[in-house]
Structure 1
Amino acid sequence: MRLRTDCGTENGLMAALPCCLRSLHTDEFAGAKSHMYGTSTSNQRIESWWSYFRKQRSQFCMDLFNDLRERHLFNGSRQHISLV
């Protein structure tokens, strides 16, 4: 009935969505009351996972583009993307 998020920038849509979707409901948590902001005291594990995920995903992309560059399929410019 109620979603709680911290004030992180990635949570804007998560805050707006339930308020919009529940705007016509009539219960005690309808509309703007369907979301609340709070401190993030127990999200260290998920934040750690996201950090790990971003690092690993970034490394994959860096490796991919280095490989493409070594095979002369990509030179770093937007104009030269050659997929054979």
Structure 2
Amino acid sequence: MNLSAQIKDKAVALWHFQRVRRLVRQQPGVPLQVIVSVAEIPCEDPACSGPATQITVLGLDLVRRIMVIHRPVAEVTEAEIGSALQRL
């Protein structure tokens, strides 16, 4: 893989991480003063075919809320984020 392809892959991945962060912040009930981090982690569920997306929300109350969506970050939808937030 050449350098330009590596840079393109990193840019696409970064765009999806930022997209998911933005979708979390736009959900009803999520205050503006939160830290949202997104990471792809190995999926431990045997039914999951690839990496899972871990979303961590840290509020002003210093309580860390962690959600795991069993899909790669590029495939995570707004509905899945809303559903995961309701389960917290």
TM-score where L is the length of structure 1 = 0.37
Query: Whose strand fraction is larger, Structure 1's or Structure 2's?
Result: 2
Structure of larger gyration radius: 1
In terms of fraction of residues, the more helix-rich structure is 1
TM-score normalised over the length of structure 2: 0.36
